[in-house]
Structure 1
Amino acid sequence: MRGTARTVAVAAMSAVALLAAGCGSGDSGGDDTSAAGGKTGGEITVRGCNPENPLVPSNTTETCGGNVIDAIFSKLVHYDAETAKPTNDLAESIDTTDNQNFTVKLKQGRKFHDGTEIKAKNFVDAWNYAAYGPNGQSSGYFMEPIEGFGDTQCTGEGDDPCAGAGKAKADKLTGLKVVDDYTFTIKTSEKVSNLPVRLGYSAFSPLPDVFFTDPKAFGDKPVGSGPYKLDAWNKEQSIVLSKFADYSGDFGGKVDKITFKIYQQSDAAYNDVIANNLDITDEIPTSALIDEKYKQDLPDRNAEKETGVIQTVTFAPTKVDPNYADPKIRHAISMAIDRDTIVKQIFNGTRQPATGWVSPVVDGYKADQCGEWCKYDPAKAKALLQEAGGFKGDKITLSYNADAAHKDWTEATCNSIKQALGVDCVATGVVDFATFRTQIGERKMKGMFRTGWQMDYPSIENFLAPIFKTGASSNDGDYSNPEFDKLLGEAAAEQDAAAANSKYQQAEALLATDMPAIPMWYGKTTMGWSDKVTGVKITAFGTIDFTSVAVK
Structure 2
Amino acid sequence: MNRKTLALPLMAGLLVPVLAACGATVGGVDKDGAIVVGTTDQFVANGDSPAPFDPAYAYDTGAWNVLRQTLQTLMHVPRGGGDPVPEAASRCAFTDNASESYRCTLRDGLQFSDGKPVTAEDVKFSIERVLEIRSDNGAAGLLANIDTIEVKSDKELVFHLSTPDATFPYKLSTPVAGIVSRDAYDGKKLREGFDVSGSGPYTLETERDGDKLVSAVFTKNPHYKGDLKVRNGKVELRSFADAHGMGSALDSGDIDVMARAMAPDQIAELSENPRKDIALTEMPGLEIRYLGFNTKDPSVKDKAVRQAMASVIDRGNIADKVYGATAEPLYSLIPSSISGHTNSFFNRYGEPSREKAAAILGEAGIDTPVKLTLNYTTDHYGPGTAAEFAALRDQLNATKLFSVTIKGAEWSKFRPAQKRGDYAVYGLGWFPDFPDPDNFIAPFLDKDNFLNSPYVSTVARDQLIPASRREADREAASASFTKLQDIVAADVPVLPLWQGKQYVAARSEVTGVEWALNSSSDLQLWELARGSA
Q: TM-score, normalised by structure 1?
A: 0.81
Please tell me whether residue 541 in structure 1 is matched to residue 533 in structure 2: no
Determine the structure 2 residue equivalent to 1:110. 110
> Where does residue 171 of structure 2 map in the other structure?
198
Q: Give the equivalent residue in structure 2 for 1:250.
A: 227
Query: Where does residue 305 of structure 1 map in the other structure?
Result: 283
Q: Which amino acid aligns with 2:294?
A: A
Q: Distance in 1 between matches of 2:190 and 2:76?
A: 27
In structure 2, how many angstroms separate the alpha carbons of the residues matched to 1:119 and 1:189? 24
Separation (CA, whole Å) in 1 of partners of 2:60 and 2:37: 20
The reply on whether 1:55 has 2:34 as its aligned counterpart is no
Q: Which stretch of structure 1 is more off in the superposition, 297-306 or 277-286?
A: 297-306
Structure 1 counterpart of 2:389, which letter?
T
1:43, 1:131 → 2: CA distance? 36
Q: Answer yes or no: is 1:181 the counterpart of 2:160.
A: no
Cα shift at 1:539: 0.8
Contact 2:140-2:448 within 8 A present in 1 as well: no
Q: Name the structure 2 match of 1:154.
A: none
* Residues 76 and 467 of structure 1: CA distance in aligned 2, closer, same or farther (over 3 Å): same
Residue 254 of structure 2 is matched in structure 1 by 277
Query: Counterparts in 2 of 1:336-485, with a 5 A limit?
Result: 336-368=312-344, 371-373=347-349, 375-390=351-366, 395-403=371-379, 404-405=382-383, 406-430=385-409, 432-444=410-422, 446-469=423-446, 471-485=447-461
| Separation of aligned partners in 1, 2:369 and 2:245 | 37
Q: Is the 8 A contact 2:512 2:528 kept in 1?
A: yes
Residue number in structure 2 paired with 1:97: 96
Equivalent position amino acid for 1:83 in 2: G
Name the CA distance, whole Å, in 2 between partners of 1:438 and 1:107. Answer: 39
Q: Find the aligned partners of 1:262 and 1:341 in 2 and give their Cα distance.
A: 31
> Would the aligned equivalents of 1:356 and 1:367 in 2 still touch at CA under 8 Å?
yes
Deviation at 1:369, TM superposition (A): 5.5
| Counterpart residue identity of residue 96, structure 2 | T
Flag structure 1 segments of 5+ consecutive residues without an equivalent.
1-31, 33-39, 148-174
Contact 2:103 2:159 in 1 (8 A): yes
SS in 1 for 2:324: coil
Per-residue CA shift, 1:374-432, capped at 9, x if unaligned? 642233223323333345687322111112421111111211111134423222110x2
Deviation track 1:74-109 (CA, whole Å, cap 9, x = no partner) reads: 211111233254221112222222211221111111
Structure 1 residues 138 and 511, CA gap change in structure 2 (3 angstroms)? closer
Q: Using the alignment, how far apart are the partners of 1:130 and 1:449 within structure 2?
A: 27
| 1:119–1:181 contact (8 Å) kept in structure 2 | yes
Change over 3 Å in CA distance of 1:529–1:424 after alignment to 2: farther
Distance in 1 between the 2:225 and 2:472 partners?
35
Deviation at 1:58, TM superposition (A): 2.5
Give, in whole Å, the separation in 1 of the partners of 2:332 and 2:242: 30
Give the aligned residue type for 1:116: K
Deviation at 1:248, TM superposition (A): 2.5
User: Conserved in 2, the CA contact under 8 Å of 1:370 and 1:509?
Assistant: no
* C-alpha separation in 2, matches of 1:206 and 1:133: 15
Runs (4+) off by over 6 Å: none
The aligned counterpart of 1:151 is: none
Counterpart CA distance in 2 for 1:531 and 1:355 is 38
CA contact (8 A) 1:84 1:457 kept: no
Match status 1:550 vs 2:526? no
Matched position secondary structure for 2:282: strand
Aligned partner of residue 118 in structure 1, secondary structure: coil
Q: C-alpha separation between the residues in 1 aligned to 2:293 and 2:134?
A: 28
Partner residue, 1:67: 65
Residue pair 1:112, 1:118 contacting (<8 A) in 2 also: yes
* Amino acid of the structure 2 residue aligned with 1:97: D
Report deviation, 1:73. Answer: 1.4
Q: Which residue of 2 aligns with 1:126?
A: 126
Deviations 1:298-347 (A, max 9, x none): 565112222222111111241xx211112221111122211112211211
Q: For this pair of structures, how many residues does the alignment match?
A: 481
Q: Determine the C-alpha separation between the residues in 2 that align with 1:306 and 1:54.
A: 27
The amino acid of 2:339's aligned partner reads D
| SS of 1:307 mapped into structure 2 | coil
Is the contact made by 1:465 and 1:472 (CA closer than 8 Å) also made in structure 2?
no
- Structure 1 residue 208 and structure 2 residue 181: aligned? yes
> Is contact 1:356–1:519 with CA below 8 Å preserved after alignment?
yes
Partner residue in 2 for 1:488? 465
Rounded Cα–Cα distance in structure 1 between residues aligned with 2:102 and 2:431: 27
Distance 1:382 1:136, change over 3 A: closer
Distance 1:377 1:392 in 2: 16
What code does the residue aligned with 1:44 have? V
Matched residue, 1:171: none
User: What is the Cα deviation at residue 130 of structure 1?
Assistant: 0.9
Determine the structure 2 residue equivalent to 1:220.
194
Tell me how far apart the structure 2 counterparts of residues 482 and 393 of structure 1 sit (CA, whole Å). Answer: 32
Letter in 2 for 1:230: L
Letter in 1 for 2:80: E
| C-alpha displacement of 1:135 | 6.2
Cα 1:391–1:110 shift into 2, 3 Å: farther
Aligned to 1:18: none
CA contact (8 A) 2:369 2:403 kept: no
Q: Is the 8 A contact 1:298 1:528 kept in 2?
A: no
**CA–CA distance in structure 1, aligned partners of residues 275 and 389 of structure 2:** 27
Cα deviation, 1:497-532, whole Å, max 9, x if unaligned, reads 333332232222211111001101112112222345
TM-score after normalising by structure 2: 0.84
Does residue 530 (structure 1) correspond to residue 513 (structure 2)? The answer is no
- What residue number does 2:18 align with? none
CA distance in 2, matches of 1:267, 1:195: 40
> Which shows bigger deviation, 271-280 or 353-362?
271-280
Separation in structure 2 between the aligned mates of residue 111 and residue 103 of structure 1, nearest angstrom? 21
- What is the CA–CA distance in structure 2 between the aligned matches of 1:284 and 1:83, rounded to whole Å? 24
What amino acid maps onto 1:94 in structure 2?
C
Aligned-partner SS, 1:542: coil
Please state whether the residue corresponding to 1:398 is helix, strand or coil: strand
Contact 1:364 1:459 in 2 (8 A): no
* C-alpha distance in 1 between matches for 2:400 and 2:315: 15
Post-superposition Cα deviations, 1:147-197, rounded to whole Å, max 9, x if no partner, equal 2xxxxxxxxxxxxxxxxxxxxxxxxxxx11110000001111122222223
CA distance in 2, matches of 1:241, 1:143: 28
User: Contact 2:333–2:485 (CA<8 Å) still a contact in 1?
Assistant: yes
With over 3 angstroms needed to count, the CA separation of the structure-2 counterparts of 1:243 and 1:501, relative to structure 1, is same
Letter in 1 for 2:81: T
Distance between the aligned counterparts of 1:424 and 1:476, measured in 2?
Answer: 26
Against the structure 1 CA distance between its residues 370 and 189, is the aligned structure 2 distance closer, same or farther, given a 3 Å change threshold? Answer: farther
Q: Which amino acid aligns with 1:549?
A: L
**Kept in 2: contact 1:309–1:542 (CA 8 A):** yes
Contact 1:139 1:203 in 2 (8 A): yes
One-letter code of the match for 1:344? D
